[in-house]
Amino acid sequence: MSGIALYLAGGLLLASCLLRILFDRRTEGEFSDPLGGAGQPSVGTLSDTQLSAQLFGSEDWRYVASLGSKAIELEFLRMRKNLALAWVHAARVEAAALIGAHRAAARTSAHLNFFAEVRVTVAYASFLFFCVLFSLVIRIRGPVALQSLARLADSQSERLYEIVGQIFPVAENFRG
Amino acid sequence: MLSQAIWIAAVALEALLVIRSVSRGLGWRYPYFYSYIGFVLAQDVLRMFVYTKHPMIYPQVYWSTQFLGLLFGCGVLWEIYRCALSPFPGARRIARNVLGILVIVLLMKAALSHGFWTANRAILTTLDIERDLRLVQAMSLAALISVFAFYRVSLGRNLRALVFGYGIFLATSVINLAVRGQLGERFELTWEWLQPSLYIVVLAVWSSGMWRYSPMEPPKVAWSIGEDYERLARSTRIRLGELRSRVNKGIRA
């Protein structure tokens, strides 16, 4: 039965790939202007430390809680959550732009190194994974709860890069 | 009656594809694909002849042509790989590595499950071989499609039709070969008309997509980095690392 599962999985995997290219409306133009999509959040907001301090810090929340109004508290949490989600989304957009530019250049390079490409892809995938995790925590527990997760993400990312570097060694040892 | 109608429609569409390939010079552009279509057309006519005139030798003819068809099918995959990735040497290198890894993994799987190095290999049936080879083809095509998607390789009308047609054919074949033994006679009866009908869909996709020569567009974004790939990869990783640390610092601020 496990053998049949493998064949079924193979057939369904191919079917899903076909569906993906059938409905994928992304174009090559994204390589030339990866940030050009309408409604994308401003990527520059990531550099604004004051904004992120306000978004993820607890100072504002302490003030709102001191007012003692449940309605204001709920509205504050709702808006703060949306802003934090937009901030994480902006990070994903910036990473997508970076990786789009990388792929556009790498795909035509005859000197492409398979291991180096795998390492870039793993680095990008791990970044996306943590962004998804951040979004999930923001939705469930709010932006303030993210701080401990960010510390964990930092240490785990470092470990992941070390492991990937050992599995896929390249001539020059570089760390992101 | 229905199966006969489907057979006639299939032969007509295959003949149409061959005629168009000659009249439009498509055969020179996609030689492996049209060799496959020519073979399938000849196979269909031969099988029908043997089925009506010499039914005793039909199983032998069926399985030997089926095996040859599998080999011609590999040519279609090669055509997709060759045509789609020729303007993208980097993406081609990735595809070659991924396909190599895939074939090694599937060969190891086959060796383990069939006892490759033992006498058990002798009891492998033609159906087993067909199922395994179709699985290798299906996984290879899925890997190729993933590389196309990852590197935004925009397939032209012709290649898109090749990928879709052969993809539908492979996906349905692998699923059929996997479940036909499990679901019994009721499924066999349904599949007897469902598979040829799906094959007509495949031929319709090919006929429509290969009606005229429509090559891939050259890459709109062609940044030449020459031998600087290592520098590019390092720079991307460093910038991804910087972005990650900016995000983490922002959250911890």
pLDDT in tens, B37-54: 999 999 999 998 998 898
**Model confidence pLDDT, tens digit, residues B89-148:** 889 999 999 998 888 887 787 777 665 444 445 445 667 778 888 888 999 999 999 999
Model ipTM? 0.82
Q: What is the pLDDT of residue B215?
A: 83
pLDDT for A166 equals 63
For residue B64, name the pLDDT band (cuts at 50, 70, 90).
confident
Mean pLDDT estimate for chain A: 77
Statement to judge: residues B201 and B246 lie in one domain: no
pLDDT tens track for A20-76: 888 876 666 555 554 454 455 555 556 677 777 777 777 788 888 888 888 988 888
Please report residues of A whose CB lies closer than 8 A to that of B232. Answer: 102, 105-106, 109
| pLDDT greater at residue A77 or residue B168 | B168
What's the pLDDT at A15?
A: 93
Average pLDDT value for chain B: 85
Question: In terms of pLDDT, which residue wins out, A169 or B208?
Answer: B208
A117 occurs within a structural domain: yes
User: Do B157 and B182 lie in a common domain?
Assistant: yes
State which residues form the domain around A50. 43-173
- State residue A65's pLDDT score: 84
Q: Which of B99, B149, B226, B97 is nearest to A106 (CA)?
A: B226
Same domain, B240 and B174: no
pTM above 0.90, yes or no: no
More reliable by pLDDT, B78 or B186: B78
Domain count of the fold of chain A: 1
CA distances to B3, B45, B169, B194 from B197, rounded to whole Å, are 9, 18, 11, 5
User: Do B92 and B170 reside in the same domain of the chain?
Assistant: yes
Residue predicted with more confidence, A42 or B204? B204
State residue A151's pLDDT score: 64
A77 has a pLDDT exceeding 60: yes
- How far apart, in whole angstroms, are the C-alpha atoms of residue B219 and residue A33? 14
Same domain, B147 and B225: no
User: What pLDDT is recorded for position B200?
Assistant: 93
Tell me the C-alpha distance between A47 and B249, whole Å: 10
The interaxial angle of helices A146-167 and A114-141, nearest 10 deg, is 160
Number of domains in chain B: 2
Q: Which residues of A134-152 are buried (b: 16+ CB within 10 A; e: fewer)?
A: bbebbeeebbbebeebbee
B11 plus B107 within the same structural domain: yes
Which residues in chain A have their CB less than 8 angstroms from residue B243's CB? 46, 91, 94-95, 98, 127
Specify the long-range contacts of residues A144-150, CB closer than 8 Å, at least 24 apart.
A144/A56, A144/A57, A144/A58, A144/A61, A146/A56, A146/A84, A146/B251, A147/A56, A147/B251, A147/B252, A149/B251, A150/B247, A150/B248, A150/B251, A150/B252
Containing structural domain, residue B243: 221-253
For residues B63 and B133, state if they share a domain: yes
Say yes or no: B243 and B174 in one domain.
no
The string of pLDDT tens digits covering residues A115-163 is: 889 989 988 998 898 888 888 888 887 776 666 666 666 666 666 666 6
Q: Are residues B181 and B135 in the same domain?
A: yes
**CATH number for B102:** 1.20.1070
* Interface A:B, Cβ pairs < 8 A: 233
Residue B35: partners with Cβ closer than 8 Å, 6 or more residues away: B72, B75
> Same domain for B147 and B239?
no
Question: Chain A: nearest CA to B49, how far in angstroms?
Answer: 32
Over residues A93-100, the mean pLDDT reads 90
Mind telling me how many Å the CA of B157 is from chain A's nearest CA?
12
